[in-house]
Structure 1
């Protein structure tokens, strides 16, 4: 169980680009980063509205002279300081991720970026090469995979408790975009514009969470073929989708289904994962993150609870609240940020042995999410055809 003791030598000097007052995810970043004392927020370019961004930064405790107009000013201003920023989180619309990440890496700064990482795999590979040359870390905020029971599922699969994996069934749906976009906020408008969102809407916005979590739980499974059917039920969102279904064939013969939708009217938002093996199944939902259904063929069904001593060590090691209390999304984000901080600390110390075994959502995870999206678009554009996964 993690109890808040220091795991790195000192707090990392941390800044944000985006994530201001009107952003949807900024507070999640700050909640995660500042939970354990591993980051200290020292600067930011929080908003396209310069005055609003500066006021916001001051209100959350950043010195006024370190509330910058944009990311370029942040990089230049911090480079001139002896106590300048070391790692920057990017919580901006998708189209800006690549240019900001590249600029930060070229300035010698580690990066933590929102997903989907970039528009293309080619951009991801270019940035990975740059990060490697610079000796820097790029983390991706797949914020749901810090839940202890996600690590529990992965450990159960690794130990063979489920047997051979046969079925992967996942969904992430909500109804918050069931109406048209006449009075939609900016946070919706940029997500449904190909110029700012990229080649997908819900597949990239929420589907990549499903895909990465499945990679965490089932790292040995690789997709061989894929079929994607996507649709914009609100016509103004086309060619991007507000609803999609993806079927997947894996290299071990398993079959997968993934459903994402933002037009599931009346649904308040839910993720559900079911992994079915030849011996048993597990099912987990972020609506009940403390519980894991474990169903062994021929035996009574069981509900496993987080923080209990019967769980695998990998799950107990990242638990924060203990079995009596609820673990939530803030705890999951805190784990993600802590794991990235440990990677940055190890990179700084030259501890490559630690990095080889340390698990966190890195640039390769971000790249694979973009690769999955490219294949989904290719299938959908071919008339929802089966394609070989490339």
Structure 2
């Protein structure tokens, strides 16, 4: 990767639903997908206002005829073209993800979807079955998992450096919504409206991010039961929470916590992952993503740096520039998108075994995120009780 070597044989024709003018997440998707030339944006249904969406597509250099009023029209037209899109990214509010993903899969198009994938586990499992039946890839943008030091953390756990895992301490607790900012910000307003956001706010919006990182780092840990308490400190957000604490018991005896919050006043991002083993602990903080803290009992603390030769070769595979130079979220997202491209190309070639072992947040990660939120809400709505993980 550091030399810019191409990993796929061709560029995938790609479309977008949502992510139009003024969309921060749309810009991140386009920057990540096209950075390494694995995807070429050729079509879109960017906006609920067709004229505005078409104008935005023209700004991006697209053929106006391929800037569609709706995703339904886009999928139908593109599926009929010899040069139609092979993949689509969905950057729309939560309540639309299920329907758009299902329509794309039925049209034979690979999907990259924002999380949560759906509102219910049953819907997510339906999409999983549909993707399998059609031989299609569904990627979910847990973008922080593209940071290289997450791979290094996973390797350290796999190699037994930490010993038996005892504690998993997760948090994503920022302070930017400590007041009712949604009154003046439409981009936040829909996130606290159950009609658009679904059964949760911070649990699904940010809590699933460190949860997925823990699944990458400690893939053998399986949740046995959990307890969740959630609060709406801004009363108008009820029944959706702006703060939640989740306790988790894992099969085998390990214990975990997740603090999900948008009212941690003064915190910029506050996403941290700490894994505690019998011999050592590690910690990663997304505001310093190029470093991984390794603490071996009885030894000085070690700060492992991205891009250095002492890291596992698998952790160095995504280097885009030498050690010492900072890499950030755009690079992490681009790492996910090239993996999506590899998986999609292999699937289209009828040889998925070609990418066996390739790590990326696929449909399974989407299903598990929805399942976790559903169990958290079930626990919290019963007054914060332990529930078996179902």
TM-score above 0.5: yes
1:67-120 CA distances to partner (integer Å, 9 max, x unpaired)? 111101211221232211110000000110011111111111011100011011
**What 5-or-longer segments of structure 2 have no aligned partner?**
none
Aligned equivalents of 1:14, 1:127: Cα separation in 2 = 20
Q: Tell me the equivalent position of 1:196.
A: 196
Q: Which residue number in structure 2 is paired with residue 242 of structure 1?
A: 242
| Between 244-253 and 178-187, the greater mean CA deviation after superposition | 178-187
The structural deviation recorded for 1:312 is 0.9
Structure 1 stretches of at least 4 aligned residues deviating more than 6 Å after TM superposition: none
Summarize the alignment of residues 279-298 of structure 1 with structure 2, pairs less than 5 Å apart. Answer: 279-298=279-298
What displacement does 1:23 show?
Answer: 2.1
Alignment of 1:368-383 (within 5 A): 368-383=368-383
In the alignment, does 2:300 pair up with 1:300? yes
Count of residue correspondences:
390
Q: 1:238 Cα shift?
A: 0.6
8 A Cα contact 2:2 2:322, kept in partner = no
State TM-score, norm by structure 1. 0.98
Matches within 5 A, 1:1-390: 1-181=1-181, 183-390=183-390
Q: d(CA) in 1 for partners of 2:86 and 2:266?
A: 43
Cα distance in structure 2, aligned partners of 1:355 and 1:320: 21
Contact persistence 1:44–1:57 (CA under 8 A): yes
Distance 1:290 1:260 in 2: 23
CA distance in 2, matches of 1:260, 1:302: 28
Deviation at 1:33, TM superposition (A): 0.3
SS at match of 2:35: coil
Q: What's the TM-score, normalizing by structure 2?
A: 0.98
Q: Is the 8 A contact 2:171 2:260 kept in 1?
A: yes
CA distance in 1, matches of 2:338, 2:217: 20
Q: Is the 8 A contact 1:24 1:187 kept in 2?
A: no
Q: Is the Cα contact below 8 Å between 1:347 and 1:355 reproduced in 2?
A: no
How far apart in 2 are the matches of 1:361 and 1:3?
Answer: 25
Deviation at 1:355, TM superposition (A): 4.1
Q: Which runs of 5+ in 1 are unaligned?
A: none
Shift of 1:382: 0.9
Partner Cα separation in structure 2 for residue 318 and residue 238 of structure 1: 42
